[in-house]
Structure 1
Amino acid sequence: MSRTLSVHEAGLAVADPAAYSDEERLHEALTLLRRESPVHRVEAPGYNPFWAITKHADIMEIERDNKLFLSGQRTLLSTAEMDELQAQQRELGMELRTLVHMDDPQHRVVRAIGADWFRPKAMRAMQTRIDELARQYVDRMAELGGECDFVQQIAVHYPLYVILSLLGLPESDFSRMLQLTQELFGGQDEEMRRGESAEEQMNTVFEFFNYFNALTAARRENPTDDLASAIANAVVDGGPLSDTDTASYYVIVATAGHDTTSATISGGLHALLENPDQLRRLKDDPSLLPTATDEMIRWVTPVKEFMRTASADTEVRGVPIAKGESVLLSYPSANRDEDVFEDPFRFDVGRDPNRHLAFGFGVHYCLGAALARMEIQALYRELLPRLSSIELAGTPRWTSTTFVGGLKHLPIRYTLT
């Protein structure tokens, strides 16, 4: 990989949504930072300063020490304008407060509300339904006549159907949830975002809140056997969750619960197209599907970053971090770290071990990791035996984002049996 960026420019790329739609540029920047400035102060125009953390070991250490490095004060990389707006909403009690925004002890208590729905026993109970849905969407590919935009016509719908079925939402609301999710995570992408101002983008959150507040009222009046009822009727410290915390819980499950999986499914297929030897290897040996799934997750890394704020003066890799300063945990960088992964820029469906951090680490480890793996494996277990041929039918395009994203278009041409 030839060097065309300075270290300063590489740091700026971490805060540039467009860099995440250009994988070559992004990984050139992250590789340079890992080598020359793994704890790098970024002062990007329009953003409050932060430290970019790019080494796997440092990210694990920060995630492990969740008392020193807090999630609640600055959870995600946002513009200074958005940071200010969120601070105002926090004062009014109207902020989005999902699990990723919480610290212990509140995080531990609230996380437990949905934990049982994502344990192995619950996942085994869902296997039949997930397999049915995987078959339906591969059948859908066949119905499309051998050519489709795999992202928009397959990958975004299948995991959405799974997670919203788990919540117990009516199918008539699925398209609305998809649009709101794409607007929420695509707020930095010209094609996906609702508007250019912070206020316009925050309106997406308010629409989510309005929808889920109505759902909460309905489930409290008439409880049902689904995750939405478990959330609506949860008791914490002797009482129900606040309307804001309840709606926030729905938001994280309904959005991150499918968007990250769809990004991995589509990005995984693109990786197989770019590496036909690995596609043949996986088709010839389906027992590799579990390791292939984790390699897809590592390769795509749909969650690009989370932020932490130091609760006391400290240091990372010998670099002083003052109390109140923020660090950005770069997961795409960790998942290409040369100190952890042999030949990290090689897509290897049999990679083992695979110590990727795409699901995070420590107390904030992804609640839905097992479900995501199950969905990805189910779809490819159905697709690969029926796939006779496949090729690109146009130019893939990635979402501009600094938070969650992946491919937004993947035109393919294929033959299915």
Structure 2
Amino acid sequence: MDQASPNPAADVPDVFDPRVYAEGVPHARYRLLRDRNPVARQAEPELLGWPAGPGFWAVTRHADVVRVLRDHTTYSSWLGATQIRDPDPADLPFLRRTMLNQDPSRRSAGETPTDHGRLRRLVSRAFTPARVDAFAGRVRERARTLLADARAKAEDGAADVVAAVTDEYALLNLTDLMGVPAADRALLLEWTVRIIGYQDPEDTPEPLRGPDGKPLNPRSPALLGEMFGYARELAAFKRTHPGDDLMTALAGAGLDPAELEMFFFLLTVAGNDTVRSAAPGALLALAGSPDAYRRFAGGGVPSDRAVDELLRVHPPVLSFRRTAAVDTELAGQQIRAGDKVVVFHASANHDERVFTDPGRLDLGRTPNPHVSFGDGPHVCLGAHFARLQLRVLYEEWRAAMPAPELAGPPRRLVSNFINGITRLPLRVSGPAR
């Protein structure tokens, strides 16, 4: 049962179609792949106005996912960037400016060395735990205020907590940390929705197209000029009006303009959407597990463990792509140089080989080696800030709100990349318990 199928194209469930994820994370499909075909060839048909691609290898077991994420020499972020869809070749040099799409010390013949290590060290010095922890009081006050407002404005005792709480919570916390003026904060949410929701007809009814009529990748420079212009203006302002914030630190870190622009892009989108996706997903999981919530509400589990278990069951990112730099073998499959290799975080987090009873929400689970923040050289730099925000929000919900209970059907983002919840009606009136 644990051997790879001799024919990777036979009876392989589809985990590519973004519309599948609108119905929920396809855990039954993932399990079939883990059991029968842990590195499975997937088709990449034309969908949602986007052209067909050459296909890819879907990696679903925890051990194989970790292997791919840690081995940047074999599985490159630089060669084809990190999204399943192939970028326009004209956009690839631009995409390689960000750490996300670089490899540490890449010096293959004919290739330009990347600055991943230097850039990561620079942003690490700016994104220190001490700087993050200094915002803890402000984060807690924001959680209390937003939850109180949701209760006060609830209609028939219910509210869409995405619109009323979690979108604002994630955005305002991030913009505080970055030092973005209050008047400009709506811009960051607009950019995030455009970039993250590009597969979702509700967020982007029609694909944005270039002069040739082809869909534009939302990470194309043609669509990011406004964001980059703003980043340059904000950095210039911080050099003359410094503060204790990330943009002040980055503006003085010796980055060239393109590097600074890409850092701003990465912080705006990844920094915002990690919590924006994880928080409603966790509340939805708690609504479906009242016994687990009662244990948490009664103080029966440490908050930090609860945060990690909720991240395990609802990782913000569903998948990441690498490109094979050399011919290799993975779980019995022969991978050729140039093949796309896509790891599925949500599947790895439910691998029965690592997690006992993975379908159960066990808020005290330990150890909990989930890969929701990645692994290897690209492990999330903002994980500490994300955990802080999530812990505070759940503690404040426990103190002031009723047990999470659905007041209507949730709506999930149409995406095979981001595990988003776009609407989550919950009961918000009633005694805390």
TM-score w.r.t. the length of structure 2 is 0.87
Q: Does 310-319 or 266-275 show the bigger shift?
A: 310-319
SS of the equivalent of 2:429 reads: strand
Cα deviation per residue 1:337-386 (whole Å; 9 max; x = unaligned)? 11011111111111111110000001111001111111011111111122
Shift of 1:77: 3.0
Shift of 1:129: 1.7
Q: In the TM superposition, what are the counterparts of 1:324-403 in structure 2 within 5 Å?
A: 324-403=338-417
Q: 1:356 to 1:7 in 2, by over 3 A?
A: same
Q: State the one-letter code of the partner of 2:225.
A: F
Shift of 1:7: 7.8
Partner of 2:228: 209
Q: Name the CA distance, whole Å, in 2 between partners of 1:245 and 1:137.
A: 35
Partner of 1:68: 74
Q: Name the CA distance, whole Å, in 1 between partners of 2:133 and 2:430.
A: 28
Q: What do you get for the CA RMSD once the two structures are aligned?
A: 2.2
Partner of 2:145: 136
Shift of 1:96: 6.5
Q: 1:304 to 1:97 in 2, by over 3 A?
A: farther
Q: Name the CA distance, whole Å, in 2 between partners of 1:118 and 1:194.
A: 36
Shift of 1:90: 3.4
Cα deviation per residue 1:151-185 (whole Å; 9 max; x = unaligned)? 12211110211111111001111112111101100
- The reply on whether 1:168 has 2:169 as its aligned counterpart is no
Q: Name the CA distance, whole Å, in 2 between partners of 1:389 and 1:330.
A: 31
Aligned pair count?
400
Partner of 2:44: 44
Partner of 2:162: 151
Shift of 1:21: 1.5
Contact 2:84 2:320 in 1 (8 A): no
Q: 1:344 to 1:9 in 2, by over 3 A?
A: farther
Residue 216 of structure 2, aligned match among 195, 199, 214: 199
Q: 1:10 to 1:19 in 2, by over 3 A?
A: farther
Q: Name the CA distance, whole Å, in 2 between partners of 1:164 and 1:137.
A: 16
Q: Name the CA distance, whole Å, in 1 between partners of 2:205 and 2:227.
A: 14
Contact 1:96 1:205 in 2 (8 A): no
Partner of 1:3: none
Q: Name the CA distance, whole Å, in 1 between partners of 2:239 and 2:12.
A: 48
* Unpaired stretches in structure 1, ≥5 consecutive residues: 1-5
Q: Does 177-186 or 58-67 show the bigger shift?
A: 58-67
Q: State the one-letter code of the partner of 1:264.
A: A
Q: 1:103 to 1:276 in 2, by over 3 A?
A: same
Q: 1:205 to 1:286 in 2, by over 3 A?
A: farther
Q: Name the CA distance, whole Å, in 2 between partners of 1:229 and 1:10.
A: 53
SS of the equivalent of 1:339 reads: coil
- The reply on whether 1:285 has 2:287 as its aligned counterpart is no
Q: State the one-letter code of the partner of 2:197.
A: G
Q: State the one-letter code of the partner of 1:181.
A: T
Contact 1:96 1:248 in 2 (8 A): no
Contact 2:129 2:384 in 1 (8 A): yes
Cα deviation per residue 1:300-357 (whole Å; 9 max; x = unaligned)? 1111111111222111122111122220011111011110111111111111111100
Shift of 1:299: 0.9
Q: Name the CA distance, whole Å, in 1 between partners of 2:277 and 2:194.
A: 15
Q: Does 41-50 or 274-283 show the bigger shift?
A: 41-50
Q: In the TM superposition, what are the counterparts of 1:227-238 in structure 2 within 5 Å?
A: 227-235=246-254
Residue 89 of structure 1, aligned match among 75, 88, 91: 91
Contact 1:160 1:178 in 2 (8 A): yes
Q: Name the CA distance, whole Å, in 2 between partners of 1:231 and 1:394.
A: 43
SS of the equivalent of 2:402 reads: strand
SS of the equivalent of 2:65 reads: helix
SS of the equivalent of 2:302 reads: helix
- The reply on whether 1:184 has 2:190 as its aligned counterpart is no
Q: In the TM superposition, what are the counterparts of 1:296-307 in structure 2 within 5 Å?
A: 296-307=310-321
Percent identity of the aligned residues?
A: 33
